[in-house]
Amino acid sequence: MVTPDLASEDNIAKLIIPDDLPDEPSFKAYIEAKVYDKEGHVIQYHRQPMRSLTQYFLALMSIPIIGTYQGPSTNQATGPLTNTLSLPSEVGAYGTGSANISWNFSILLGSGTQTFSPTLTSLAAPIANGSGAGQLSYGSVLATYSGTTIYIYVTVINYSSTTINVTEIGLSATVYIQYNASGNNYASSQYNYLMSYDTFSQHITLLPGAIATFKIALTFSG
């Protein structure tokens, strides 16, 4: 029993993020890196918990929870989409046309470090895609899932002649909104977000010619 005058609306609002419940996480995530030498032998293996999701992860995750519309009779996008992801409240469309939204994930690697903030938008020092000094050649991003776990992978190759140390990693999302612009003409806009940011507890070293696979696993407890 709760005494009525001890629980005002303000008090209730403070209850929405309880800090006194048993530690039974709803979610677990980890990052994994495997480095291979030129002969394909694993020469470094590293795995650590992933800790730092940004507000953009939460905003994107809101789509399969609360949808894209504010309600059944409005044509306005939800607050997390417009106010956090800065997506349009509604896009222009023509005649009987309509609009749709989709998204993809990728893995970003960097050679810097920075203090985490839920509003971070980029790595401190992203490693560019290429074969020049300090660059890595990124393969296609793969994704799969098993039960409540989603896995995202990317393989990179160091074609440069110098050693590259990977010190930071992020999960990013590209959101696509497509709409019927005129007649049978369709247009698409895309938006990029940093969904997580972590620094490696020990850097990942890629010697010249080395290949590395980075994996991010997101497990909703189910």
Token pair in block for residue 160: 């440069």
Contact between 159 and other proteins by CB under 8 A: the answer reads no
* Interface of this chain with other proteins, residues 92 to 151, rule: CB under 8 A: 92-106, 116-119, 140-151
Q: In the complex, what is the shortest distance from the CB of residue 66 to other proteins, in angstroms, rounded to a whole number?
A: 4
Give the span between the Cα atoms of 8 and 24, in whole angstroms: 28
Identity of the residue, 20 or 133, whose beta carbon is nearer to other proteins in the bound complex? 20
Identity of the residue, 64 or 133, whose beta carbon is nearer to other proteins in the bound complex? 64
CA–CA distances in Å: residue 25 to residues 1, 14, 41, 124: 27, 20, 36, 29
Identity of the residue, 127 or 173, whose beta carbon is nearer to other proteins in the bound complex? 173
Identity of the residue, 133 or 139, whose beta carbon is nearer to other proteins in the bound complex? 139
Token pair in block for residue 85: 């992801």
Contact between 34 and other proteins by CB under 8 A: the answer reads yes
Closest CA to 58 of 19, 22, 17: 17
Q: In the complex, what is the shortest distance from the CB of residue 121 to other proteins, in angstroms, rounded to a whole number?
A: 14
Contact between 183 and other proteins by CB under 8 A: the answer reads no
Identity of the residue, 12 or 133, whose beta carbon is nearer to other proteins in the bound complex? 12
Give the span between the Cα atoms of 146 and 6, in whole angstroms: 45
Give the span between the Cα atoms of 37 and 215, in whole angstroms: 18
Angle, CA 154 vertex, CA 136 and CA 133 arms, to 5°? 5
Task: Find the binder of other proteins among 10, 64, 133, 183 (CB under 8 A).
Answer: 64
Token pair in block for residue 106: 């990728």
